[in-house]
Structure 1
Amino acid sequence: MAAPAIPPIRLGLIGTGLAIEKLHWPALCGLADRYVVTAFTDSSAGQCRRFAGYSGVDPALAVAARTALLAREDVDAVLVSVPIPHLYEVARDALAAGKDVFCEKPAGADAEQAAAFLSLAVAHPDRTFMVGENYFYRDDLRYARALLDDGAIGRPHLMAWRHAGQSVPRAGGFTGTPWRQRPRYRGGVHLDFGVHHIAQIRLLCGDIARVHGAVQTANRTIDAPSDLTLNLVFTGGAIGNYTASFPDIPIPPEPNDMRLYGTEGVLVLGGSEAERRVTRSGADATTHTTVFRGSDNGYRAELADFADAVQFGGRPVGSVAQSVANAMVVQRAFDSAERATALTLDPVPGAGPVPLWRPRGSAGLFDGLPGQRSSSTASFAA
């Protein structure tokens, strides 16, 4: 006899802005057997109407306030997608109401609030509490991590990554939101967007033991530093440099590739969201490139991981502790810049090395996920 079907998670949305429209709703549409939206709320009634319009969700499911949504018995879990300064208070209230919580990143507007996020998770061990970090779930990054775990480039000893791109307010885009232009959270764009890069670095290179940072302000459209450069020492012994620049002037196209140098080869990660590439080269000057197309950049996978944790138990890869570990690299980087000295990072309780996520019940990396992959081989020998 077939096992009885597990009913979908009855999901409430708190906040229905750009992150829901552009990132989470498309992923939820691909997980219709795992989730059903039973209520939604937003501080903007117009935003609620917009969500109902493009999603097809019954407008009658709109709730005037989050307190009313959290009181509903037909809401098992909530997806919290509100501005960064309000994430903590909403997650706190949802956990207190007995809901499982998937919360947008980062875990905390500063170091003090990051510690409060950790305390929240400890205080609610019976609830699934996850902070979204889609970079932990991206196909290209998980593939690269699997190569590293298999020793494809030997012992990694150096990481080099420079990311630069113009950042100006654009209507209908994330940079157009006023709270991002005048951030009330320490780190500005480097905590909001750059924390994804820290997640990528930690996933591929391991935890960071020491940082030496410097910052510059060179963007007239945001009230926060636009440039951050970090020298890093990893707990595994490797060293690295990460530089991110978000100026307001146009800059020439740059590769923005991340390079990992090992004792037996080099791994290069680059490309655009539409076409990401992982290239591995060896001592024989042969390169193997895998191209990823049609991926949703991990949003579907992270929501699948959350659903698995809610329905089957276990801990999701994107735990609160892992998100705090990402955020604390940014916070210590700004501490280092202010003090003009290198600083150590204390281990975050419950974090440790980022696990490699695989679809539940699968030994493969991509089973059941959208996207296509193709591979090619070449040589750069003279």
Structure 2
Amino acid sequence: MAAPAIPPIRLGLIGTGLAVEKLHWPALRGLADRYAVTAFTDSSAEQRRRFAEYSGTDPALATADRAALLARDDVDAVLISVPIPHLYEVARDALAAGKDVLCEKPAGVDAEQAAAFLALAAGHPDRTFLVGENHFYRDDLRFARALLDGGAIGRLHLMAWRHVVRSVPRAGGFTGTPWRQRPQYRGGVHLDAGVHHIAQIRLLCGDIARVHGAVQAANSTIEAPSDLALTLVFTGGAIGSYTASYLEIPVPPESHDMRLYGTAGVLVLAGSDAERRVTRSSADATTHTTVFRGIDNGYRGELLDFADAVQFGVRPVGSVAQSVANAMVVQRAFDSAEQAAALALDPVPGAGPVPLWRPRGSARLFDGLPGQRISSSASFAA
């Protein structure tokens, strides 16, 4: 006899802005067997109306505020998508109300609040508390991590990555939100967007032992540093450089390739949201490229991991500790820039190396996940 179906998690949405519309809802609507939205709220009545319209959710499920949503018995868990300065207080209230929590990143506006996030998680051991980090779940990055774990390029000894984009306020986009233009969190865009890059670096290269950073401001549309140049020393012995700039002026086309150099080969991660590529070059001058199309950039995997933690007690990859570990790289980079010195990074309790996520019940990386993967080989020998 088949096992009885597990009812979907009754999910409340706190905040229904751009992150839900562009990132979370496209994944949620394909997971009706795991989630049922039973309530939602937003400080903006227009945002509430818009969410109900594009999602097809009954407008009667809207609540006046988060206190009303958290008081509902038909909400098991909440997805928190509010501005960064309010994440901690909303997560605190949700956990106090007995809800499981999936919260947008980062875990803390500064180092002090990052420590408060860790204490909050430790104070609610009976609740699932995940901080979103889609890069931990992205198919191309997990594939690259599996290659590295398998010794595909030998011992990693050098990482190089430059990310330079134009970033000016655009209506209807993330850069158009006033709280991002005048950030009330240390690190500005490097804590908001750049923390994803740090997550990717940690997933692929391991934990970071020491940072040496420099920052400057070259974008008048944001009230925070736009440029970050960072030298990294990893606990495994590799070294690396990461440069990120969010400019006001138009930028010539940039490759944004991340390159990982090993003793037996090189791994290059490139492409865009529509098509991502992982290319492994071997010592014999052959290349093996896998192209990923139609993947959702990790949001489906993130939601599956949260559901598995709530329903089956699986330990989630995107823990609060892992999010704090990402954020603290940015905080120490800014400390380093202010002190003009290389600084050590203290290990974050409960974090450690980022685990490689696989769909529950499967040893393979892509079982049950959307997308197309195409592999090819070539040679760059003269």
Q: TM-score, with normalisation over the residues of structure 2?
A: 1.00
SS at match of 2:200: helix
- Measured against aligned partners, the alpha-carbon deviations of 1:21-79 in whole angstroms (never above 9, x if no partner) come to 00000100111100000000000011100000000000000000100100100000000
Residue identity over aligned pairs, in percent, reads 86
Q: Take 1:345 and 1:39, find their aligned partners in 2: how far apart are those partners?
A: 41
- Equivalent residue for 1:194? 194
- Measured against aligned partners, the alpha-carbon deviations of 1:316-370 in whole angstroms (never above 9, x if no partner) come to 0000000000000000000000000000000000000000000000011000001
Q: Take 1:187 and 1:256, find their aligned partners in 2: how far apart are those partners?
A: 21
Map 1:336-351 to 2 at 5 A: 336-351=336-351
Q: Take 1:314 and 1:172, find their aligned partners in 2: how far apart are those partners?
A: 37
How many residue pairs align between the two structures? 382
- Equivalent residue for 1:78? 78
- Equivalent residue for 2:23? 23
Deviation at 1:258, TM superposition (A): 0.3
- Equivalent residue for 2:296? 296
Map 1:1-382 to 2 at 5 A: 1-382=1-382
Q: Take 1:354 and 1:11, find their aligned partners in 2: how far apart are those partners?
A: 27
Q: Take 1:109 and 1:293, find their aligned partners in 2: how far apart are those partners?
A: 34
Deviation at 1:315, TM superposition (A): 1.4
SS at match of 2:247: coil
Deviation at 1:314, TM superposition (A): 2.4
Deviation at 1:168, TM superposition (A): 0.5
Deviation at 1:245, TM superposition (A): 0.6
Is there any run of 5+ residues in structure 1 with no aligned partner, and where?
A: none
Q: Take 1:233 and 1:66, find their aligned partners in 2: how far apart are those partners?
A: 43
SS at match of 1:246: strand
- Measured against aligned partners, the alpha-carbon deviations of 1:271-293 in whole angstroms (never above 9, x if no partner) come to 01100000000110000000000
Deviation at 1:260, TM superposition (A): 0.3
The residue type equivalent to 1:111 in the other structure is: A
SS at match of 2:311: helix
The root-mean-square deviation of aligned C-alpha atoms, in Å, is: 0.4
Q: Take 2:317 and 2:265, find their aligned partners in 1: how far apart are those partners?
A: 28
Q: Take 2:236 and 2:189, find their aligned partners in 1: how far apart are those partners?
A: 28
Q: Take 1:119 and 1:234, find their aligned partners in 2: how far apart are those partners?
A: 26
Q: Take 1:63 and 1:254, find their aligned partners in 2: how far apart are those partners?
A: 44
SS at match of 1:7: coil
Q: Take 1:170 and 1:275, find their aligned partners in 2: how far apart are those partners?
A: 24
Is there any run of 5+ residues in structure 2 with no aligned partner, and where?
A: none
Q: Take 1:354 and 1:327, find their aligned partners in 2: how far apart are those partners?
A: 14
- Measured against aligned partners, the alpha-carbon deviations of 1:228-284 in whole angstroms (never above 9, x if no partner) come to 010000000000000001111001001010000000000000101100000000110
Q: TM-score, with normalisation over the residues of structure 1?
A: 1.00
The residue type equivalent to 2:49 in the other structure is: R
Q: Take 1:247 and 1:40, find their aligned partners in 2: how far apart are those partners?
A: 36
Deviation at 1:379, TM superposition (A): 0.6
- Measured against aligned partners, the alpha-carbon deviations of 1:285-305 in whole angstroms (never above 9, x if no partner) come to 000000000000000000000
Deviation at 1:216, TM superposition (A): 1.1
The residue type equivalent to 1:105 in the other structure is: K
Structure 1 runs, 4 residues or longer, greater than 2 Å off: none
